[in-house]
Structure 1
Amino acid sequence: MKIFKYKNELKVYLQDLKAQKKTIGLVPTMGALHKGHLSLISQAKKINDIIVVSIFVNPTQFDNNDDLIKYPKTIENDIKLLESVFCDVLFYPSVKEIYNEKIVADTFDFDGLEHKMEGKFRDGHFNGVGTIVKTLFEIVAPHRAYFGQKDFQQLQIIKKMVKKHRINIKIKGCSIFREEDGLAMSSRNARLIEQQREAAPFIYKTLKEVRKKFGVENPNNLTQWVEDQFKKYPLFTLEYFTIADEKTLETIKNKESGKKYRAFIAIFVGKIRLIDNIRLHNL
């Protein structure tokens, strides 16, 4: 595996490969890699000749500086994991290499997707996401880029950015990778203490119950049911739960045939914020 810290060196290396008609798959990450990231790499390897993984903890997408400081950084272990799955290239730039002297996000218009759910609670988050992803696209210029569906809103926003900016990259959304007990894999899981970790699978268990009830229950009643469930558990603080249209991310009041819906949730377990979602079956 080749490791690059400087964008110009990476560009030159990839240009040579593209001249040889090699296809490039990009997996952007913030490091603290786990099996969920490795599953993205596995998907990318199926149809690309060269896999590029980026590791960059992006300061402009954190609305909480404490969360940025505490975000796990495990580069030595990350490199070992990437080598174990035969990743071809790691791009591991510094903040200065990406932002120069001015650590400021660009401003994007995602047609309102940025104001739903995460956007309501994380000021400027998606401007930061758009800035780093667009920058990585410009540096790597991959044929395809891979993102997990745990961050489904982010996935939809990146698809919107690619369409609006006419970026010639195919965006691939990959299934949520879960622990055996159902907890969605996340770099933040490592920060959970034992009691919190034991309780955390309740999040996915609740989402599965929502999926069961969705066929017969009104979305508003389901939302109230979820809020009531989490009131019983002092370890959890429910930030939001919503049932939304997959395309528009608008919270729904009534179901319509032919539309795809998904339930989204954000929970604080102590000071650690976890998100998850599940597709709902609609008749």
Structure 2
Amino acid sequence: MIIVQAIDALREELSAWRKAAETVAFVPTMGNLHAGHMALVERARQLGSKVVVSIFVNPTQFDRKEDLAAYPRTLAEDCAQLQTAGAAMVFTPTPAMMYPAGGLATRVEVPGISELLEGAARPGHFTGVATVVCKLFNLVQPDVAVFGEKDFQQLMLIRQMVRDLDMNIRIEGLPTVREADGLAMSSRNGYLTAAERQLAPGFNRVLREVVDALHKGRHDYASLQADAAKSLESRGFRPDYVEIRRAFDLLPPEQGDTDLVVLGSAWLGKARLIDNLPLTLKNLTETS
């Protein structure tokens, strides 16, 4: 496995691969890797002959400076995991390389979807995500890129950006990887204390209760959302939101919509957890 930091070295290696007719699968990360990331790498290995993983803690997608400062940097451990997982290259640029002169004059924005849910809770977050992913795509020029569905809204945003900018990149989503107790795997789970870790699976259970109610025919979305937020509060969480949305555009569902997703974000101590559960309704004839 090759570890590359300089952009020129990255391009030189990629050029050699393309001359050898290799296909490149890309997994962008911020490091502090866990089993969920390794699942992304495994899927990437199935889709390309060479897998590139980037590790870059992107400052422009953090809405709070203290979160950026606190984010764990575990490069040596991450590279050891990636070598075992079969990655061919790890790209580890510095902020100065990605943002010369302290920033970019150019930003990439995806209006609409960037302003909902996570975008409303974290102003500027998705502009930072879209800009850095666009730049990484330009640098790596992969045939396919793999993202986790845990960040459901982010995945939708990236797909929209790729369509709008005519990028010749296949975007592959991988279902959320979970712990045995249902908690979605996340680097931020490391912020949980031992006691909070015992409470954390309650987040997913509350979202599942909403899904179950929808399958049983309830259509009173606002009440379901409010009840879920109260349930989270009773379990020790500080919810940012629990929302039932259409899976294809994240707008509130209308009569006849069947493909939905229940999304939530909640604080537990210092950890801000996010999760989502997609569902397809089969019977819309009953009224709540």
Q: TM-score, normalised by structure 2?
A: 0.94
Contact persistence 2:55–2:92 (CA under 8 A): yes
Aligned residue for 1:250? 251
Deviation at 1:95, TM superposition (A): 0.6
How far the C-alpha of 1:38 sits from its partner, in A, is 0.3
Supply the AA of the counterpart residue of 1:246: A
1:228 counterpart letter in structure 2:
K
Q: Post-superposition shift, 1:193?
A: 0.4
Q: Specify the alignment match of 1:227 in structure 2.
A: 229
State the distance in 1 between where 2:67 and 2:249 align. Answer: 28
Paired residues of 1:211 and 1:281 also in contact (CA < 8 A)? no
Taking structure 1 as reference, are residues 74 and 149 closer, same or farther at Cα in structure 2, changes over 3 Å only? same
Q: Say which SS state the counterpart of residue 101 (structure 1) adopts.
A: helix
What corresponds to 1:188 in structure 2?
188
Any idea what SS the aligned residue of 1:264 has? strand
In the other structure, the counterpart of 1:157 is 157
SS at the partner of 2:72? coil
Name the amino acid aligned to 2:279: L
What stretches of structure 2 of length at least 5 have no aligned partner? 283-288
Distance in 2 of aligned mates of 1:208 and 1:187: 22
- Which position in structure 2 is the counterpart of 1:79? 79
- Tell me the alpha carbon deviations over residues 60-108 of structure 1, each in whole angstroms, 9 at most, x when there is no partner: 0000111111111111110110111121000011111111122357433
Cα gap change, 1:262/1:206 in structure 2, threshold over 3 Å: closer, same or farther?
same
Name the counterpart of 1:275.
274
Q: Output the amino acid matched with 1:232.
A: S
1:53 is the counterpart of 2:82: no
Judging changes above 3 Å, is the alpha-carbon distance between structure 1 residues 228 and 255 closer, same or farther for their aligned structure 2 residues? Answer: farther
User: Which residue is equivalent to 2:38?
Assistant: 38
TM-aligned CA deviation for residue 255 of structure 1: 4.4
Query: How far did 1:185 drift?
Result: 0.4
SS of equivalent residue, structure 1 residue 188? helix
> Aligned pair in 2 of structure 1 residues 200, 228: CA closer, same or farther (>3 Å)?
same
When normalised by structure 1's length, the TM-score is 0.96
Which aligned segments of 4 or more residues in structure 1 are displaced greater than 4 angstroms?
none
- The one-character-per-residue Cα deviations of 1:34-59 (angstroms, maximum 9, x if unpaired) are 00000001111112100000000000
Question: How far apart, in 1, do the equivalents of 2:208 and 2:91 lie?
Answer: 37
* Aligned-partner SS, 2:73: coil
Q: Alignment length, in residue pairs? A: 280
**CA–CA separation in structure 2 for the residues paired with 1:87 and 1:15:** 17
Structure 1 contact 60–105 (Cα < 8 Å) conserved: no
| Higher deviation after alignment, 216-225 or 149-158 | 216-225
Q: CA deviation at 1:194?
A: 0.5
Letter in 1 for 2:197: R
Aligned to 1:68: 68
Output the CA distance in 1 between the equivalents of 2:187 and 2:255.
34
**Deviation per CA, 1:228-250, whole angstroms, max 9, x where unpaired?**
212312x3100111011111111
Aligned position for 2:286? none
Instruction: Please say if 1:260 is aligned against 2:262.
Output: no
What letter corresponds to residue 224 of structure 1 in structure 2?
A: A
- The answer as to whether partners of 1:72 and 1:188 remain within 8 angstroms in 2 is no
SS at match of 1:210: helix
Identity across the alignment (%): 36
Cα-Cα RMSD: 1.3
Q: 1:105 to 1:206 in 2, by over 3 A?
A: farther
Give, in whole Å, the separation in 2 of the partners of 1:201 and 1:105. 42
